[in-house]
Amino acid sequence: MQALLSYDDAPPLSAPLRYYLTAPLFAMLAGALLLFAGPDLLVSRWTPAALAFTHLLTVGFMLQAMVGSLQQLLPVVVGANLPQPLRLATWVHATITPGALLLGAAFLLDTPLLFGSAIALLGFGLFLFIVAAARALWNISASNPTLLGLKAAVLGLGVTTLSGLALAAALGWALDWPLLQLTNLHLGWGFVVWGCVVLAAVALVVVPMFQLTPEYPAWFGRYFVRATLGLVCCWSTAELAGWRVATALSATATLAMCALFMSVTLRLLRKSKRPKPDATHHFWNLALLSGLLACAVWLAAQWLPAVAAWPRWPLLYGALLLVGGFMSVTVGMLYKIVPFLVWLHLQSLGRGRVLAPNMKKVLPQQRIDRQLRAHLVCCALLLLAVIWPVWFVYPAGVALIIADGWLLRNLLYASGIYRSHLVTIEAARLRAQ
């Protein structure tokens, strides 16, 4: 798979970096919301503060990081060149960032104007990105698993966006729409197709490359994306038709596919050839184990009445999936992607006259290890806060701010290395004239 990579097609560093530097700010804002709302936030998944908190992490942190990564990966991994990548990044980032802020405020204040503004900004920015990505992927006929997964991910983002905008409109103007069905579609396509499928597609490349593991089994690459997408479509049809048994069975099968991806990846990580596991290895393990626990919680709630009767199980599921799962793997991948991109661009700009710094100097391992420990504490406190909110919600909020403030500090350190090395390259160029 690594032979497919084409680094000459990489967009300018500032295209993905702006998303990466913005993402931790939303997670820190979510931590501040925990401190502001207190235990009331964790009464139910439907409280205004809980909805705002969830979307600060999903539309704020996750969307920023994933869109930035796709702008980088589409041309490099599958040769899908986005037109005018810097202009695209500017417009998309400049609209989804305030859009996410306004959406969080809309949930808290329940104001139609805020919902409308969020819909306009998020709809415009995501429409630009989806159209650009779809056009770039349209003319590529190769059928490798990563390409298929990225195509499915763009479809998943489209369905997630449309259902999310419909929900925001229904909430903002009290429209008589099927909110529960729209919510289920929004969550299913968002977490499974836009989340898990795109993660699997990227993992096919980055796990063997960065973690020095064997390649994924051929059967997994051949069938996973198609099977998962087919199951999600079956589940969506059953959900919209109101077929309760078919909905439960297809949803369970869909979740089983996600658990299969996590299990296969954990097995590969155990076979890593690294002499000593690095922090990214630990982030991947944490994410996959948290994801499997989230799947277990969801399945238990569907099939065990005692678990379903516990009102906090959706919050436990969300904490495991969002913070323990998607946030952990995102942070781990950023610690590989950002130093590599800094090295790659400096190596290209240096043109042999000035060597790029080693990736371990771009972002020292000690800095990453410290942030990993802060993130582990944050995950543990959030899980405890779901069970005992009065005791742990405030420590969890502080921990979330610290962990993601540390992440932002590390990313700024790497970008500072890039800027300082640019000065060295420019000085060498002037001396050579």
Sequence-ordered list of residues with C-beta below 8 angstroms from that of 213, at least 6 positions apart, any chain: 207, 268, 269, 271, 272, 273
Here the tokens at position 109 are 């204040």
End-to-end CA distance of the chain: 41
What pLDDT, in 10s, does the model give residues 16-58?
999 999 999 999 999 999 999 999 999 999 999 999 999 999 9
Report the 10 Å Cβ neighbour count for 180: 8
Q: Output the average pLDDT for the chain.
A: 92
Reported pTM: 0.95
- What does the DSSP 8-state code read for residue 187? H
Task: Indicate the Cα dihedral angle 297, 302, 307, 308, nearest 10°.
Answer: 120
Least trusted range by pLDDT, from 1-5, 75-79, 140-144: 1-5
| 263 Cβ contact partners less than 8 Å away, ≥ 6 residues apart | 292
Is pLDDT of 351 > 70? yes
Q: What percent of the chain has pLDDT over 70?
A: 97
The one-letter amino acid code at 58 reads: T
Confidence (pLDDT) at 125: 97
pLDDT confidence of residue 345 = 87
What is the Cα–Cα distance from 307 to 143, expressed in whole angstroms? 42
**What does the pLDDT read at residue 3?**
42
Measured distance CA(315)–CA(233) in Å, rounded: 26
pLDDT at 350: 78
